[in-house]
Chain A
């Protein structure tokens, strides 16, 4: 089953990390992705640029409304995603628990609607 792991974290908290912590985090990401690749579960993954660069679009009465910023003001922002091919939710939970930023933020697990 294909699962999308949506990684949320509080961007305001991130600059508080020391350079060493930041370096560790990058190393952890690298190791994590290598492991996911080696396990043959990784379908796709990427990080998102800072939420300050977000643009939100709505179409109302045929008119396109474009606004600056994310769709909702929440204290955690979507920061990245991975798509994993797992045999069940427990396996997906296992991968989610090992996401390096799970210690700071939260990981939402959703299955893909079309499992092709």
Chain B
């Protein structure tokens, strides 16, 4: 590792932890961020010359505290009044503390507070906990840097002005706030996993960052409250195991049943499955665990034919009760068709009529099941409707091929 990359890795790894501890000590989000920024600039200059210190985190923490004091003194001078700087002011050179308390959970809950806009929650989480620079967050979400800088500044000022607390929420608020936190982490993951735009490298980084945040969360939450966090981590690991098989050489999406399963990352599948087992052992079921279980069943099948569709269909039944949505219903119908035959699935889909009109997978699923039950004309109609709505090249190619098939067969029959 070169000096520069080692410094960068250290920054990334230590950023969230140091910032979280600094906010606790200073009681001021913005001051902590500014002081850490100063320390990072300082480190960049010093470490290039002296090398990375033995405990870089403690070094950054000590320097950041000193910079915070400097900033407070300067501010006090400007206001021409004395400032009381209790515990911090008592020592000129703060000691190097090897054990930085881990307050990242507080920081996560503050960044994902529902009083902040969702896009601000995501940006703030990546910036403070992931150590991504404003430029990097802006690039990941394809917004101009000044826009992202403003979004972050506004979020920071709302935290201060509105009195958003810096703490792990009390028991009565925890379930609701934890849901919001998990949603933000999953959103970051999905942004990297299914993003329709942005370069591959940034996308990969977002997935890695979401998984890292998931691990931190699982490590810091009380075990009894961690089932869904573990479920989410398992889900992300299992999805990510298929990363290499999911895109072809031209960057287009390859559908699950056509993926080269030898490209699936077995280490990630093993880890994902193990994390899921830990989650399930806690006996506190939730939608992330169910989705992870579905993903695990796909991961365990060596061939598409070996997929345990009956179990998957049953899991979708459960998911539909826990977190009802059109997306779940369409997947549930497809799984039912795979497990119990096309007519059963088709029946479920037809019940959704009117609710899913703008959702192309609905029309694609209808079309496939109509085709398999020999209803060619309605199938052709549904393929056309799906094609009209679908923007994905690989999916479009599939839908077009099927549509042509239906039309040719129909022409043949009429002759």
Contact = CB atoms under 8 A, between A and B. Distances in A.
Interface of A: 1, 3, 86-90, 92-93, 109, 111
Contact of A111 (B113, B161, B165): B161
A111 to B, nearest CB: 6
Nearest to A110: B162
Question: Which DSSP category, helix, strand, loop or mixed, fits chain A's interface?
Answer: mixed
B115 A111 contact: no
B169 interface: yes
Contacts of A86: 163
B329 to A, nearest CB: 30
Interface in B160-190: 161-165, 169, 173
A87 B162 CA distance: 11
B162 A89 contact: yes
Closest 8 CB pairs of A and B: A88-B165, A1-B163, A88-B163, A89-B163, A89-B164, A89-B162, A90-B165, A89-B115
Contacts of A92: 163
A88 B165 CA distance: 6
* Contact-residue size bin, chain B (C-beta under 8 Å from the other chain): under 10
A67 to B, nearest CB: 32
A88 B164 contact: yes
10 contacts: A3-B163, A87-B163, A88-B163, A88-B165, A89-B113, A89-B115, A89-B162, A89-B164, A92-B163, A109-B162
Nearest to B170: A90
B175 to A, nearest CB: 14
Question: Which of B115, B162, B164, B169 counts the most chain A CB atoms within 10 A?
Answer: B162
B174 to A, nearest CB: 11
Given A1-B163, A90-B165, 11 more contacts: A87-B163, A87-B165, A88-B165, A89-B113, A89-B115, A89-B164, A89-B165, A90-B164, A92-B163, A109-B162, A111-B161
A89 B161 CA distance: 10
Contacts of B161: 111
Contacts of B169: 90
A112 B385 CA distance: 54
B115 A93 contact: yes
B414 to A, nearest CB: 57
A91 to B, nearest CB: 8
A90 B163 CA distance: 8
B173 A90 contact: yes
Contacts of B165: 87-90
Question: Which of B115, B163, B169, B173 counts the most chain A CB atoms within 10 A?
Answer: B163
A1 B159 CA distance: 13
A89 B165 CA distance: 7
A89 B164 CA distance: 5
Contacts of A111: 161-163
Nearest to B114: A93
A92 B169 CA distance: 14
Nearest to A109: B162
A92 B173 CA distance: 13
A8 B147 CA distance: 32
A92 to B, nearest CB: 7
Nearest to A2: B163
A17 to B, nearest CB: 29
Contacts of A89: 113, 115, 162-165
Contacts of B113: 89
A111 B173 CA distance: 21
Contacts of A88: 163-165
Nearest to B158: A89
A102 to B, nearest CB: 15
A56 B42 CA distance: 56
Contacts of A109: 162
